[in-house]
Amino acid sequence: MKQYKVGIVGIGAVGGEIVKILRQRRFPAAEIRILARSARTEIINGESFEVQETTAEAFEGLDFALFAGTEGAKGASQQFGWDAVKRGVTVIDNGDDFRMDDRVPLVIPEVNADALKQHNGFIANPNCSTIIALMALAPLHRRVPIRRVIAATYQSVSGTGRSAVEELDLQARAYPETPPDGPRVYPHRIAFNLLPHIGGLKEESPGYTSEEVKLLNESRKILGAPDLKVSSTCVRVPVFQAHAEALFVEFAQPVDPADARAWLEAAPGVRVIDDVEQAQYPMPSLAEGGDDVLVGRIRRDSCLDNGLALFVVGDNIRKGAALNAIQIAETIVRLNQGK
């Protein structure tokens, strides 16, 4: 099998997880080259790496460059992404700089892998909450078109980064006292609290935050459904890892919950856990560290025409970011082998 030279830009939570998953899935990597703001040595999952400073020249000779979007790497793909493509590198970007760019496919391999058959060397990874939602919604949408989604998300602090994980840990240990330097990452205490505020407000969607607008726009692009209606409230919760989402879905025609359950059980990357009588349902503690998106609480929604309600949970660092990016690379490798 051909071996590939893989670059990773940013070595925060997502970048570190990318390294781990590349090894776990035995991706055919002849080289893993880590790029960050400064050169240094890093130990990742027990393996030592010599980190290089990110420069345009540092991408030379790579086959893939995975922009992790962490460690201050926001905007790194704007600075280096297209130049890397000119050097023959296939870029997979976890940031949001190019997700809605018409030149760039936005891909969840289990959902719209066909979009990778035509690309310009630059592919975008969707937002974590979008990936987790669509892993559950797409198998249903293929059977019966979805018209409307109302969502409430419960997003873990790891989605903000390592500093937010440390802040939750510090506040939880100090509670009910307040750490002397107070909240730094979030505007309010996150321990034993909920913050209905993820991202900044968007002028084009008054009252909605950037996280909520992403769920709308990205879902439309990935599903090829420009008229899909999505309204969400995105909430930061005091959970270290894994995002949960309550989804209320309106279909074009009635969908029996038993049929929906069967379609989801057959979907790759999805695991149904749905037995309330036995207290079996998706939870962050079950999803953390796993690759599958968990779906449960599948029932009729009496407030929507042809409605179903679902509860969905996925690890935001793995399937919501690192794993999805690697699956994109794996899909491209398979497509290239088939040429």
What amino acid occupies position 85? V
Alpha carbons 103 and 118: distance in angstroms, whole number: 10
The catalytic residues are 128, 243
Closest of 168, 162, 124 to residue 13, by C-alpha:
162
Find the angle CA(255)-CA(257)-CA(263) to the nearest 5 degrees.
Answer: 80
Closest of 185, 82, 137, 131 to residue 326, by C-alpha:
131
Query: Tell me, what DSSP letter sits at residue 318?
Result: I
Q: Which residues pair with 205 in a beta bridge?
A: 202
| The pair of three-digit structure tokens given for residue 196, joined into one six-digit string | 């209905």
Helices (H), the chain: 13-24, 76-86, 109-112, 128-143, 162-174, 210-223, 257-265, 284-287, 323-337
Half-sphere exposure of 266 (CA within 13 A, CB side): 10
